[in-house]
Amino acid sequence: MTSLLSDTGVLAAARAALDACSRLGANYADARVIQLRTEHLTSRETSLQSAFDSSSLGIGIRVLRNGRWGFASAPSLDHHIIGLTAEEALRWTSFQPSTGEQSLALPPTPALKGDWITPHQEHPFAVSIADKVDFLRGLGSLAIKAGARYCDASLWSIQEQKLFVSTEGDLQRQEILRVWCEAIPTVTNTDGTDFESRTTSFAPAGSGFEKIRSQEWSSEIERAVTNAKQKLSSPYVTPGSYDLVIHPTNLWLTIHETCGHATEYDRALGFEADYAGTSFLTPDTLGKLQYGSPLVNITGNRTELGGLATVGFDDEGVAAQSFPIIKNGIFTNYQTNREFASRLLKAPSLGCAYADSWQHLPLQRMPNICLEPGSTSRSLTDLISSTENGLFVVGDKSYSIDQQRRNFQFSGQEFWRIKNGKLDGMVRDAAYFGTTTTFWNSLDALCDKSEYFLGGSLYCGKGQPAQLAPVSHGAVPARFRNVSVIRAGGAP
């Protein structure tokens, strides 16, 4: 563990918060001390454009009294300020309106003690700024050498150190590391009147800096430039119905929007509505709805190696775990934290609580949510060769989805025509659309685990005030039959 987490003064401050809450009449209390450091560098071609390095340290105190929550936070570990912050947290419980419901009682959870750190070889903050700038400049050089007119690149390094204690006896220390690097080469036509870009496909990960170094940047950037040029000279898509072979570099975002947010239990109950709506997966559908074809198995997993939401414990002290969300096509489980698990047949929490800083109350947030590979041996080449008339979709781009996660539209970085089992050039400005359950029920083939790819986002938004959470989504290439495709842009 790092110096923050091994500092006895930090632990004394967190325990002082619990003692104050107990003296003031809390039925339950927990305290999170978090130090968050984020470094973000950007470049244009071979020039550094910006360098941002921020760090914050503080404590968040959450209490439960007479079935009502209270929360307060402070950017200080001074014991006097912690006492005042505990008083404020208790004061907020008196302001909560009566809902007419039975008082909230958290389901029993065993007290856990332990330490956890993201598996890594090279700590991202052990790498100098100079080395990182040289790395970004190198990406720009590769892109220009390959024929790009421009290239934007960026690099994130994130360290989240966290100490959690509760009046139930929890004591947990964690250091969570996340990294990401991407480049966006842009090409133009000869007279400069048109352009296309293609983003590199390497996803953010819960890892050390070795994840960034290990990527095949030269071949990926060369491919991005070559394909952007081909896209620039390709015909516009002909709208219609196609069989889609969707690569996980695109499918991860579809999983995120149509399954990840849709199966959040607080959203299904209407407790989350202002930020991106509620969900069509209402409680009466649990265990009954045919969400997808029998091939669809989607899992929530806080233990996924390299996952952005991978931790040892969630922000309520619950151990990381894996659980089915969609099993053989049937909607099987919501994501839950302790509060909302208590509303769901008094079930145990599935460990889905997260707060993006010490300043914020933990919300029910996504674990890593992944589409499981098929059991039949099948490569991407096999999947394409067995498709007569379709499109192969690569990379994420823009999307839209309605306020109940039912109707959607997704575009992508590349759309390749499939004719008689072979790729037959690109088309431009395509997007596919549909309804969630119709789309997932049209899935008829999956690749095996050799094609597995873990995508994701560092910044998934939810809540008011808004919080940003990191989450990964794994998948293999999958085929969906008779999906509607439209032309989403371009010249008339």
Measured between alpha carbons, how far is 8 from 215 in angstroms, rounded to an integer? 39
pLDDT confidence tier of residue 145, bands split at 50, 70 and 90: very high
C-alpha neighbours within 13 Å on the C-beta side of residue 413? 24
Measured between alpha carbons, how far is 427 from 234 in angstroms, rounded to an integer? 5
Pick the more confident residue, 1 or 350. 350
* Domain 3-232: homologous superfamily in CATH: PmbA/TldD superfamily (3.30.2290.10)
Closest to 479 measured CA to CA, from 427, 418, 396: 418
Whether residue 465 is preceded by a cis peptide bond, meaning omega within 30 degrees of 0, is yes
pLDDT confidence tier of residue 100, bands split at 50, 70 and 90: very low
Give the mean pLDDT of 281-303: 97
Whole-number CA gyration radius for the chain: 24
DSSP secondary-structure letter at 144? H
Give the mean pLDDT of 406-422: 97
Q: Is the pLDDT of residue 344 over 80?
A: no
The secondary element (H helix, E strand) that includes residue 43 is strand 28-44
Give the mean pLDDT of 271-278: 90
For 223, phi and psi rounded to 5 degrees? Answer: -65, -40
pLDDT of residue 103: 56
pLDDT of residue 104: 67
pLDDT confidence tier of residue 250, bands split at 50, 70 and 90: very high
pLDDT of residue 490: 56
Beta bridge partners of 153: 43, 183
Give the mean pLDDT of 272-277: 88
Give the mean pLDDT of 14-39: 97
pLDDT of residue 106: 80
Number of other CB atoms surrounding residue 358 within 10 Å: 21
pLDDT of residue 3: 67
Closest to 376 measured CA to CA, from 386, 390, 367, 362: 386
Q: Is the pLDDT of residue 1 over 70?
A: no
Residues in the chain: 492
The token duo for 217 is 């940047």
Q: Which residues contact 336 (CB under 8 A, 6 or more apart)?
A: 265, 344, 347, 349, 350, 352, 364
For 131, phi and psi rounded to 5 degrees? Answer: -65, -40
pLDDT per residue as tens digits for the range 121-139: 999 999 999 999 999 999 9
pLDDT confidence tier of residue 102, bands split at 50, 70 and 90: very low
Contacts 24+ apart (CB under 8 A), 186-194: 186/148, 186/149, 186/150, 186/151, 186/152, 186/228, 187/147, 187/148, 187/149, 187/225, 187/228, 187/229, 187/232, 188/149, 188/232, 189/232, 189/233, 194/232
pLDDT per residue as tens digits for the range 28-85: 999 999 999 999 999 999 999 999 999 999 999 999 998 889 999 999 999 999 999 9
Percentage above 90 pLDDT, the chain = 89
Q: Is the pLDDT of residue 352 over 70?
A: yes
Measured between alpha carbons, how far is 474 from 253 in angstroms, rounded to an integer? 10
Give the mean pLDDT of 245-265: 98
| Cβ–Cβ < 8 Å for 322, 370 | no
Measured between alpha carbons, how far is 143 from 8 in angstroms, rounded to an integer? 49
Q: Is the pLDDT of residue 97 over 90?
A: no
pLDDT per residue as tens digits for the range 147-191: 999 999 999 999 999 999 999 999 999 999 999 999 999 999 988
pTM given for the model: 0.96
pLDDT of residue 211: 98
Per-domain residue ranges of the chain? 3-232, 240-487
